[in-house]
Chain A
Amino acid sequence: MDIGQLIPPPDFLQVQWGWFQLLQTGTFFCHLLVMNVMLGAAIISLWYQVATPDSAVAQLTAQKLPFSIAFAVNLGVAPLLFLQVLSGHFIYVSSILMASLWLSVVAVLIISYYAAYIYQLRYEDLAVLRGIPAGVMVAGLLYIAFIFSANMALMENPNAWPEYFARPEGWILNLNDPRLMPRFLHTVLGAVATAGLALALYGDYRQERGHSCPEHMVAGGCRLFSYATIANFGVGFWYLGSLPTGIFRQPGLAGKLMAFCLLLAIATTALAVINGLRERARQALAFLLLTLLAMTLVREFARAILLAPWRDYGEIPLRPEYSPFIFFLLVLGFGVFLVVYMARLVLSGLSGGQR
């Protein structure tokens, strides 16, 4: 079957594709960061809950998880929106192929979110039962992570799409895809590492301000970050090996840039781990951010190469209309202003005492 026949034509763009690529990559980077903290913190919290039920780390993470879920979801909206603009003709298809599972993500997310709130609001009351909402939450979030990994993998693999004709009920996960499992594990381990560093940074912040902080939080968080990242090296190479051979030998700019970003990511990861092992959380963070940015770009270039036979941004019709784009930039600027304004309002108010 001619796979190209299955790929829908792309809809028009209002501004050059580069803008959308920039917005997609930028917002995905933000989402990745918060999502990593959310998923990793949930796993860490459950781990502590099971291993040391009265752990201060478990309680601390329990208090923060609902916020991280809210922002992770919100920050996921924007990259998914821009992804649909540039690659809707791929992501819609893969989503439909696994529609039943894809839509279940919403129900699972609501359950996980409510479980996070139960875990937070009933923390004291639940006592030994805390592991139940925590477990439900983590199971749900891991399920969502897996479905997202599967969808993105299927989206980038149109050769697997004809499976639809045998199974049109929306249950195609394409578990035979060798990329799927390392991709998922790479995501989860990355999340644990990032959340570990986030814990360390939070502890560092509190210590600096003279607030109480769970014992060994900085050191423990840094260690967690480092060990999880070292483990993720292995998974990362597994993932790399699962990609189609020759992906790095692609002629053209994309292949070269991808190789460069990957090497950069390896280097910054190594530096982040070294700093993590030395319990220098802030320096580790700087390298982690560089790593995440580099890996975000690697992901984009890999997708571009994988979809190259069927996708050419240059061929997407352009129907220029800049005023909505300017409107969005103004709203975005206003939004940033509001965030800063609210932060200052609250910080100044809290430092001024209760009403």
Chain B
Amino acid sequence: MNYPTWLLDIYGGGTIIALVAVAHVYISHLAVGGGLFLVLTEMKGLRQGSREILSYVKVHSKFFLLLTMVFGGMSGVGIWFTIALIHPTATSSLIHIFVFGWAAEWVFFFCEILSLFLYYYTFDRLDSGKHLTLGWIYFGCAWMSLFLINGIIDFMLTPGAWLENRNFWSGFFNPTFWPALFFRTFFALMIAGLFGFITSANIKNKALREEMVRYCALWLLPALLLLVASGFWYKVALPPPQAEMIFATSPEMARYVRGFIIISPLLFAGGLLIAMARPSFLIRPLAWLLVILGFGYMGCFEMIREGGRRPFIIHDYMYSNGILKEELGEFREEGVLEKARWVTDEERAAKSPEVAGRKLSTLLCLPCHSQGGFLNDIKPLVQSFTREGMASYLAGLGRVNSYMPPFPGTPQERDLLSGYLTTVLTQSRESQPQISPEELAIPRFAPEDKYLLVAASDRGAILTSEPQLSGLDFSFAPPRIKAQLIQRAESPTVTSDRVEISYRVIGKPEGEGGRLKAAAGYFQAELADLTPAAKPFRPYRLINLEAKVAGKLVAKTKVRVGLSNGFACRNCHGGPWRSEGSGLSRQTAENILTAHDKRSHTKLAREHEQGKIVVCSSCHSDSSRGAKGDASLLTLSGAVHGFHGAILGTGDENNCHLCHPVGSDSQSQSFDGLHGTTIGLNCSDCHGGLASHGAAILKAESSPGAKPLLAKLAGRTALPVEEIRSRRPWEMEPDCLSCHPGFAPPEKFSGFNQWTNGKQGLFGQRMGEGAVLLCLSCHGSPHGLYPARSPHSREVGVIQPLQYQQKPYPMGADKGCAVCHTKAMADELHHPGMLQEFRNRL
């Protein structure tokens, strides 16, 4: 944050560093191994008394000099220039920590140049002993350069004890110094063999050519085996965070690790093949192919080594955006724009994504990301997000996607940056709800009617991913209606004797219906095939209910069943709505599965593409649907809430609306009951913020996947994780009586951490005192308690209260006992307090 940022646009994202570094590193390793190759090959020529071999060495040394001295040496300066331009803070740190290491390397570099010039230009002019001495000096100096650079480069990956003691030698002889030194030395020897093929292939004398090609193969093959062995040593020496980053966490690393693994046997086989090949027309292309493969091999290794540092540029010390780990708190407090030096007063004062957001992107994103370029292009990464989704993602940056540094700015800066990324750099697909309210006809009820039919859905606002359309099934359990038929009288009864209750779905598909089954004190039906209302979109379906006693129709009503396809996954996963501002599109589903594949190494996106419906609960158990899944994996709710709880937000935010269609920005606005509208509670008041919610569910999990996620949630939950009570999803929910002890008015508005004791305590299952009436018969559905106020219709959330008592409040409110009892009552039979005036009036 102390230096200006070079705006590279498409050439950013490490493109220049990757190009210069890999090319330089390849040739600089040749400069080391090739030195030994020259000396030992010259000795071979001398030992065999072969003028031809000595001539070959001279030719090869010219090729070697032109390649390593000019390209190798100058690109070394190039990589130094490049890193200083792109990561000046890190370069300055490396220069200041290791200045005398660099300086010593410069001395060896000088001696390398001198000795190589002398070696080449005194060929045939010095006696062999002196000439070989020059060669040995060259190799010794080149290897010492490798020795010194190796210490500094590996310090960036594994600083080791330097982090505590800031001692030069601790940093230099860091935990991976020795395995890396051996690894690089064998790499250098292998490359010497590879480039030896190039010059050997051009030898005109057939016998000598074949001899020298086989000789070069001897450089390649053993060195390759030793390289692989030292590679394992290197891997073992990596501290767990770096090893995890390379081999597990960072999705980009997989391709380079795979590339390294694939190229190893290819190089070996190529080496064997070229050693056996006879005709030169085969040797030459093979030689070049092996050199190119070696380049790819080196590229994979360098990308892995660089990737292992993430999210740092100097591990555990400096983030890749140049901010020191110890400075993070200051930045978060004061803000990036305030702390950064290369920011104008106008940019600091600006509150727009176009100016301030752009600057934040320049400071925080561009050190690693290109904009529309070849490497680490940020555009496809952010274009799927809505602005709010991006802001929430930024807030959780660095936790689950631990290859990213945490967002270092203030919440306002987070919003500005997300605004820039989603509305200026890319065009996010924001949508505003388009709702045209409908007016509903309320079923008739006459004071002389003998029966009263009350009903509600016990699963509140159901969400469906519409598997047939989206190809992805993570829908909730289907809606379930519960109904009770009350025979009106001074002492009314809930009757089931010779009672038949049937239902018929209003709207398409026409005529769908059936009969409710008798249960303990009520009737119920599960509407497994019910589809959400479309054209116009409604977050509910209306169902006609009819009750017959001994075959005679005695009561009719209409019930709302909350059912929406408004999963808002696209906020972060991108893709369009399926239709009319709602619905999971196939594109979004595919993006979700691609993200799953990336993290969990599955191949679900391919299955999806092939037309299969991917059912999440086939692996992740879901008790609401009775899906057992794989017992070793997290439950569906635990996986979804635990993972997103870790990735979204900085604390324990109420960001449920990013996924659930409960916010005023959604087409559904499903949380329309008394608590959400009249009182103004939000999801987290009962369930806890996302982090707390996820933690409570994860604590009930036995899967090994729970612990790492819990660790990422620690410190962000409303209560310490150890104090959060575990709960099984769908079976244990916030207990109404925790805020309404003894059915009294609430003294607090927090149901978090006070779960029902199993299914029996759930609102949808529970009955009032006397165990006669279901709670939902009088109060309506969970999340849609009377008086519910849906923007889609004034009447839809209060159909039965309006039908039976011409007011939107719970059944029997305002001493309205007569609706069932046909007269005023003096005793609070169903629960204490029910004879008081209803408090939360519209």
Q: Which residues of A are interface residues toward B (Cβ below 8 A)? A: 1, 5-9, 11-14, 20, 23, 67, 70-71, 73-75, 77-78, 81-82, 84-85, 88-89, 92-93, 95-97, 99-100, 102-103, 105-107, 109-110, 113-114, 117, 164-165, 168-170, 319, 321, 323-325, 327-328, 331-332, 334-335, 338-339, 342, 345-346, 348-350, 352, 354-355
Contacts and interface: CB of A to CB of B under 8 A. Distances in A.
22 contacts: A5-B341, A8-B3, A74-B109, A77-B106, A84-B84, A85-B99, A95-B81, A96-B85, A96-B88, A102-B85, A106-B77, A110-B70, A164-B342, A168-B5, A169-B6, A324-B101, A338-B115, A342-B114, A345-B130, A345-B133, A349-B125, A349-B127
Nearest to B82: A103
Interface stretch (B164-172, B440-448, B816-824): B164-172
Interface residues of B, number: 68
A349 B126 CA distance: 5
B837 to A, nearest CB: 65
A11 B93 contact: yes
Chain B contact surface mostly: helix
B266 interface: no
Given A71-B110, A88-B95, A107-B78, 9 more contacts: A6-B342, A70-B69, A74-B113, A77-B77, A81-B106, A92-B84, A96-B5, A319-B166, A328-B107
B706 interface: no
B615 interface: no
Given A321-B167, A355-B128, A342 B134 contact: yes
Contact of B106 (A71, A74, A327): A74
B100 A346 contact: no
B96 A12 contact: yes
A70 B117 contact: yes
A100 B82 CA distance: 10
Nearest to B69: A70
B2 interface: yes
Contacts of A70: 69, 73, 113, 117
A8 B6 contact: no
B70 A117 contact: yes
Nearest to B76: A77
B81 to A, nearest CB: 6
Contacts of A328: 100-101, 103-104, 107
A321 B168 contact: yes
A355 B122 CA distance: 10
**What 6 A-B pairs are tightest by C-beta distance, nearest first?**
A8-B2, A106-B78, A335-B107, A324-B100, A328-B100, A11-B96
Contacts of B108: 331, 335
Contacts, number: 201
Interface in B719-768: none
Contacts of A99: 6, 85
A346 B107 contact: no
Contacts of A114: 66, 70
B269 interface: no
A85 B124 contact: no
A169 B91 CA distance: 20
Contacts of B81: 95, 102-103, 105-106
Contacts of A339: 110-111, 114
Contacts of A164: 4, 342
A348 B133 CA distance: 13
B101 to A, nearest CB: 7
Nearest to B103: A328
Contacts of A23: 103
Contact of B100 (A88, A168, A325): A325
A106 B75 contact: yes
A345 B134 contact: yes
A114 B92 CA distance: 31
B254 interface: no
Contacts of B166: 319
Contacts of A105: 81
A346 B122 contact: yes
A301 to B, nearest CB: 23
Nearest to B130: A349
A128 B642 CA distance: 76
A355 B127 contact: yes
Q: Please indicate which of the listed interface residues A323, A328, A334, A355 has the most CB atoms of chain B within 10 Å of its own CB.
A: A355
A99 B16 CA distance: 12
Contacts of A109: 74, 77
Given A11-B92, A70-B69, A102-B81, A355 B124 contact: yes
B326 interface: no
A25 to B, nearest CB: 15
A342 B100 contact: no
Contact of A110 (B4, B75, B95, B118): B75
B683 interface: no
Contacts of B8: 169
A70 B109 CA distance: 11
Given A14-B168, A117-B70, A332-B107, A8 B16 contact: no
